[in-house]
Structure formats: C-alpha cells, structure tokens
A and B are shown apart, each in its own frame.
Chain A
Amino acid sequence: MAGTVAAGSPQMDRRLSRRVTGTILAVAGVLIVALFIFMVTRAPNDDALPVSLGFSLNNFFVWIGALNPLVQIPIVVVVFGLVIGAIVLLIEYAPRPGRIYFWLRLVACFVIPFIAFMVLRPYQNAAVYIVAIALLAGALLFFADYRARQGSGYAFQLALFLAPATILILVGLIYPALSTVVASFLDKTGKEFVGLGNYVWVFTNPDGFWSVINTLIWAVFAPTVSIVLGLAYAVFIDRARGERVLKVLVFMPVAISFVGAGIIFKFIYDYREGQQIGLLNAIIQMFGGQPVSWLDAQPFINTLCLLVVFIWTQTGFAMVFLSAAIKAVPIEQTEAASLDGANAWQRFRNITVPGIRSSLIVVLTTITIASLKVYDIVAVMTGGRSNSTVVAFEMVNQQQRFQSYGHSSALAFVLFLFVMPLIVYNVRQMRKQKEVR
C-alpha cells in the first residue's frame, strides 16, 4: 500500500507516542496544579512547625551571619562555587548514553527538587504536599527528558542551565511585580479594594503630581544632555594627545556613588548668610549678585540642580561607551569622506553617527532607565523637599514614612508605564538586527 503508513510501522509509532507523551505530560502538569490547589485550600493549622532535613538554607544563613564579614566572603564564594560546579558536572555527565547515566539522571530528577524544597523548611501541614509536588515535578522532567525529540539528556541539561536564573527571576522579579500590581488597587493596609483611588492620588496629590512631572523632566534631559556632552567629548579627544588621561578625568564620576556625588555637590550648591562656602554662590557673590538657595529654589530650579549631578556622573559612562564605538568605525570611511571634501561636521553627521547608531541606542536606553529610577541623589541632597521629589523616591518615601503601600505601588506602576515604551523600542530594534544577520 504505497502512500499510506501502515499501523505498527516505526513512523506511525513515533507519531502515536508523541501524542501519548504529550498527554502524559499534560496530565502530570494538571496533577501538580491540582495538588497545589488542594494544599492551599486545607484548613489552616496555626500550630504547624517548619520541618527540615536537619539542614536548611536558613541554618546556613544564620551560621554564616555570625561570622566576621571578611570571613564570610570566601565561605560563601566557595559554597556557591561548589553548587555551580556540581551543576556543570551534572550537565557534562548526565546526558551521556548508557545505563549508569540513565540512573544518574533518574536519581538527580527526584533528589534535586526534593532537597531544593526541603531546604526552605516548609510547614508541617504543607510539607507532604510540597514533597509530592517536588517528586511529581522531578518525574515530569525525567519523563519529558527521556522522550525528548533531541534524545534523552537534552531537556535535563537545558533545565540545569536555566533553573538557577529562572528561580531568581520568578521569585525576585515576576512575583513581586505581580503582587505590586495587585497592591496598587488596595488601600493602605492592603485589605480594602479601592479601585483606581491610588492612581487618582498620584496625579492629584502635590507630592505624587510633582514626582511625575519631575521624573519626566529627568527622563528627557538626563539622557540627551549627557549623551550630547559625552559624544562631543569622545569626538574631540579621539586620537588626541593625552586621550587616556582626559578620558579618566571625565570617567571618574561614574565610579563615585550618588551619595558621594551628593556630598561633592554640597560644596557647589551650599547657601548661607555671610561668607559662602559653596562654589556657585561664591562666584555669584564675586560678581556682586545675591546668593541663591539652590536646592530650595522653585519651580524646577532645584530639580535642574539635581539633574546636573546626575549628568555629571553619567557623561563619563556615555563617553567611554561611545568612544569605543567611534573607534570601531573604519577610519578609511572618514578619510575617504574628507578626501571628497566633507568638513568635520559633515563627516561626523554622515559617517560617525550612522556608524555608532546601535551603541547610541544602548546608551540612551541605559541612561534613560537609570534616570527614571533615580533615588539616591534626591534622597541624599534634598530628601524630596520643595517639590524636587521624583517617582522612585516618592515610592520609597510613601512606603517607609507613611507605610502607604497602595500609593507606593501605584507610583511603581506609573514608573513601569514610563519605562515600557523604551523596552518595546529596544525589543523591536533587537528583532530587526536579528533579521539582518
């Protein structure tokens, strides 16, 4: 029977077994979810105690926390190195064919999830379910791995490569982000639903309102000014004598903390009666002007003063990055253009800028995100006084001083909305680059 596949032939077998594999995996997945739901709907038991295998992450942290800080460094580095080493060893050996490696994979699939959950010390009433979930997840991984199209061992090593990062991202970024979104619709205590109340607060309360306005000012001026200055500087000193020294001078502020920068600029912005010790006011006084209290000057002047500090620290970053990109532009192109009679500006505009376009995007994105998230400068220099607050600062302020998680979460979500277009643009850019390649 030409053209049809007889039942029982290897081809048919594989197709059938693929479906069987899929079904089994789906059933196991549903079972895990069901177990989880079953667990959290059990009657709460207030007397439950944490159970452990005699060792736990908590024990380790408590033990290491009692040591001298300098002793802690090598210990934690070695312990962590051992864990990573074990992962790499498993990745190397487990996928090999052979009976021994089959058993190695099988044991690893059950033991690793079990231990991983048990070091977290689940409570008594949850432990049974958690162990069941862990073992089921291990079995699922083993089965998926065993039946994988790319051969057994493939899914296993993939899981090992990605598991640490996945756990960190799920626990540290995705879970908190989701719970913040939920909290932004709840009131101060986190119990009453208030709808969009917190968002209304953000745009009507003076603190919330000014933080949004100021953040927008930051996001517009900080990246543009520091990139223009950094790029100009990088071009000016390109192939000049003493380039290295000139670079280091402007780069130095990058290594200085915002706290340090805040202290440094106190000696610029300081204002007092009588003799000035702030450089800016001293200069003004020298020319016969009236000293100004820069950090209290409204509107916008104090925000601009803070912006200057930020630009001071970011220009060096932009400069180093863009300078390297400029050097990657083939010198022949510039030379050819100059032989064709293009002047310096035309060469810059038509050859250098297109040549470093993607670096420009990277720097622009990085600095804009940093400026949207700026907290330290405001906290150290003004503490948000005189309408100089920004969203990221106000968020922490609402949380720490007023214990108002609803307001804080709404501010966080607003910040999230501000960052979104940037990321979308970058992702598009990334996609385009992939297509070109």
Chain B
Amino acid sequence: MVIDAQPVLDRKAVRAVARETRRNENEVQKRLTSKGATIAAIIIAFVWTIPTFGLLVTSFRPGADSTTSGWWTIFVNPNFTLENYGEALNSGGTALTLGDSFLNSLAIAIPATLIPIAIATLAAYAFAWIPFWGRSAVFVFVFALQIVPIQMALVPLLSLFSKGLTINGVGIFPGFTLRDADHSFATVWIAHAVFAMPLAIFLLHNFIAEIPSELIEAARVDGAGHGQIFFRIILPLSMPAIASFAIFQFIWVWNDLLVATIFAPSSSLPLTQTLNSLSGSWGDKWYLQSAGAFISIIVPLIVFFSLQRFFVRGLLAGATKG
C-alpha cells in the first residue's frame, strides 16, 4: 500500500485534523454500540440465563414446594433450604452416591484430558516440522477421521477391551480382566483419548505450524535435536493452544454420558450417569436433581474461568486468516 498524502506542515491544520479524527472515531464507536443492539443483546442474555436461574432457585427450595408450584412463586412466597444439596450428595443410583461419582468423574476427566493432549502434541509436531513422504495426505486423513461417529466405534472397541482379539480361533490379545476391579477407569481413559485424537492433532498442528521457523532453525544450529526443540521451544510456546484444547477436552469428558455409560463398570460411573438416575423412578425427586446439576456445573465453570485467558488465542490459530 502506498501512502501519498501531502505532508501537513501547518500546526493549526494538524490540530484540526486530529480533532476531526477524534470526532469520527467517537462517532464510529457510538454507532457500533447502538441502542437497539444493546437492548437485543440484553434480551438474549436474559432469555439465556432464565433456565439456569430457575434451576438455581429450585435447588434451594424445599422438595415439597418445587413439586407442587413453579419456581417463580418463590418471589411471592420465599422459602429456602440447603437440605437438597446434602441429600443429593448422599443419594444416587443403584451402585453409588452422587458424592462417590463426583470423585469418579474427577478420576476419569483429568487423565482423559492429559493423555490425549500429550500424544496429540507429539504427533502434531511431527506433522508440522518433520517433512516426510505423504505428510499432507496423512494429515488430511487424520482430520477426516472426525467423520467416524463415536457411536460407530463403541461396540467394536468394547468387545476388544473385554473379549480381546481372536482371529480365526487364534487368540492374539485376551482383553482386560477388569470385571472385579473396584474402580477401573482404564478403558474409559483409552476410549476418551482415542476419540479426542483427530480434533486434537488438527487444532494443535494449526498452532504449532505457525511458530516462526527462525526459532526452530536457530535451535537446530545450536545443536538441539527434535527432542529438545519439542520440549524447550514447542511446548512452552504452544501452551495457549494446549490450554484451550484442555478446557474443551475436560468439559467434554466431564459432561460425557455416552462413553462412560458404555465403558465404565457400575462402580466407576461418572456424575452425569448418577445425576440422570437421581430423579427417582417416578421423576418425583427433581429437587435433588436440581441440586445435583449445580454440583456438576461447578467444576467445568472453575476450569473455564481459570484457563480462559488462553482460551480464544489458542483455538483461533490458523482459523483467523480470511
């Protein structure tokens, strides 16, 4: 772009131009945040918050009240209690209480976040910085694997874990004997790691590939191998991407119902499963479910708020280019 404006020498003119610019800027600012838009935004925010607010109110209402009248009657007839939370933590499905399954959820979600990220970062580095034959084709293939619906992989994977692999009567892999284990999460970890792989490699690759090649060249000249480059340069620099994917993966695993239902033994079921069965067989214990739902929401919210400064920066790499 060539700028060919006349140089302004007159001080008065300079001030006038500056004033004009400021005025225009103010105008732009004002028009971008117009009244109508603000009102529309507030309406959306209100509508979006009402359902959660209703749940919050219900979780503090006595059970007898919330099964007979709507939560909004609280404004006419205030009546609060903390009992629901205590009762919810100590009741649950057939095998375990909500409190137990809260621990299970933690034990599932933390390793199921760290394992796929480490593996995917290794692979993403290779795709970004080690040239090899057919690299871009393989990368596209990995991306395209998102096409495989989780549900499609569930049954074969489950039978691989429990019955092993036998081809033509020759047993190659006997499967895991986890039936008697108290709290076994191994298969759930593996399943989550597998299903996270294509998206994780794709997102991390986008970020890692954008790291300036001068940095890597310089390290190589200084005698660093791929191991050191990976550990000392790539890992620290791609922390925003890693953290933002970690948020997603953690929230995803924490909120997952399907994978855990299929793979977790009954004593290892996570919060979502217990929460779902908390309503009682006649759906008459909603007040417990509402308290339980709030307990389950807290953890992902904490994770999100503690890592959110990385969040958008990391996910947008490679996507912001028009």
Task: Report B-chain residues with C-beta under 8 Å of the C-beta of A375.
Answer: 151, 257-258
- Among B2-10, B11-19, B78-86, B296-304, the stretch that binds chain A is B296-304
Which of A77, A84, A265, A279 makes the CB contact (< 8 A) with B111?
A77
Give the shortest distance, in Å, between A365 (CB) and chain B (any CB): 9
- Candidate in B119, B142, B313 with the most chain A CB atoms within 10 angstroms: B119
Interface residue A373 (Cβ < 8 Å from any Cβ of B): yes
A335 touches B28 (CB 8 A): yes
B130 touches A158 (CB 8 A): yes
For A, the interface residue count at a CB cutoff of 8 angstroms equals 146
- Interface residues of chain A: helix, strand, loop or mixed (majority): helix
CA distance A263 to B45 in the complex (A): 20
A420 touches B322 (CB 8 A): no
Give the shortest distance, in Å, between B138 (CB) and chain A (any CB): 9
Q: CB-nearest residue of chain A relative to B311?
A: A320
B174 touches A252 (CB 8 A): no
Q: Contact mask B40-66 → A, CB, 8 Å, 1/0?
A: 111011001111101100100000001
Interface residue A382 (Cβ < 8 Å from any Cβ of B): no
Give the shortest distance, in Å, between B108 (CB) and chain A (any CB): 8
CB<8 Å pairs between A and B, sample of 10: A39-B170, A120-B173, A168-B197, A174-B145, A262-B276, A267-B55, A324-B316, A325-B320, A344-B31, A373-B149
Interface residue B172 (Cβ < 8 Å from any Cβ of A): yes
Task: Report A-chain residues with C-beta under 8 Å of the C-beta of B227.
Answer: 88-93, 157
A residues in contact (CB < 8 Å) with B: 39-44, 48, 50, 57-58, 61-62, 64-70, 72-73, 76-77, 80-81, 84, 87-93, 95-96, 120-123, 125-126, 130, 157-158, 160-162, 164-166, 168-169, 171-177, 179-180, 183, 229, 232-233, 235-240, 246, 249-260, 262-268, 275-279, 282, 312, 315-316, 320-321, 323-325, 328, 334-335, 338-339, 344, 354-359, 362, 369, 372-373, 375-376, 379-380, 392, 395-396, 399, 405, 408-409, 412-413, 415-416, 419-420, 423, 426-427, 430-431, 433-434, 436
Give the shortest distance, in Å, between B220 (CB) and chain A (any CB): 12
CA distance A137 to B190 in the complex (A): 25
B68 touches A123 (CB 8 A): no
Give the shortest distance, in Å, between B28 (CB) and chain A (any CB): 5
A412 touches B151 (CB 8 A): yes
B residues in contact (CB < 8 Å) with A: 24-25, 27-29, 31-34, 37-38, 40-42, 44-45, 48-52, 54-55, 58, 66-72, 103-104, 106-107, 110-111, 114-116, 118-120, 122-123, 125-126, 130, 132, 136, 140, 142-157, 160, 167-174, 176-178, 180-186, 189-191, 193-195, 197-198, 201, 225-228, 230-231, 251, 254-258, 262, 268, 272, 275-276, 279, 286, 289-290, 293, 296-297, 300-301, 304, 311-313, 315-316, 319-322
B52 touches A252 (CB 8 A): yes
Task: Report A-chain residues with C-beta under 8 Å of the C-beta of B32.
Answer: 238-239, 334, 344
B147 touches A419 (CB 8 A): yes
A65-B181 in contact given A48-B171, A232-B40 (Cβ < 8 Å): yes
B122 touches A253 (CB 8 A): no
Give the shortest distance, in Å, between A189 (CB) and chain B (any CB): 14
CA distance A379 to B261 in the complex (A): 12
CA distance A166 to B24 in the complex (A): 56
Task: Report A-chain residues with C-beta under 8 Å of the C-beta of B66.
Answer: 277
**Closest A-B pairs by Cβ, 3 of them:** A92-B227, A44-B169, A172-B194
A126 touches B72 (CB 8 A): no
B174 touches A259 (CB 8 A): no
Task: Report A-chain residues with C-beta under 8 Å of the C-beta of B296.
Answer: 257, 259-260
Q: CB-nearest residue of chain A relative to B193?
A: A168
B41 touches A236 (CB 8 A): yes
B152 touches A279 (CB 8 A): no
Task: Report B-chain residues with C-beta under 8 Å of the C-beta of A415.
Answer: 149, 151-152
If A57-B176, A233-B44 are given as contacts, then 17 extra A-B residue pairs at C-beta distance below 8 Å, sorted by A number, are A40-B167, A61-B181, A64-B184, A65-B182, A80-B111, A80-B118, A122-B171, A158-B132, A166-B123, A172-B157, A174-B145, A250-B45, A252-B52, A263-B55, A278-B70, A335-B24, A412-B149
Task: Report B-chain residues with C-beta under 8 Å of the C-beta of A58.
Answer: 174, 176-177
A91 touches B31 (CB 8 A): no
- Interface residues of chain B: helix, strand, loop or mixed (majority): helix
Task: Report B-chain residues with C-beta under 8 Å of the C-beta of A372.
Answer: 149
Task: Report B-chain residues with C-beta under 8 Å of the C-beta of A176.
Answer: 148, 152-157, 160
B286 touches A266 (CB 8 A): yes
CA distance A396 to B50 in the complex (A): 32
Task: Report A-chain residues with C-beta under 8 Å of the C-beta of B198.
Answer: 169, 173
Which of B42, B54, B191 makes the CB contact (< 8 A) with A172?
B191
- Candidate in A64, A95, A169, A253 with the most chain B CB atoms within 10 angstroms: A169
Give the shortest distance, in Å, between B180 (CB) and chain A (any CB): 8
Task: Report B-chain residues with C-beta under 8 Å of the C-beta of A57.
Answer: 176
A80-B115 in contact given A173-B197, A357-B322 (Cβ < 8 Å): yes
A158 touches B126 (CB 8 A): yes
A392 touches B230 (CB 8 A): no
Which of B136, B155, B172 makes the CB contact (< 8 A) with A180?
B155
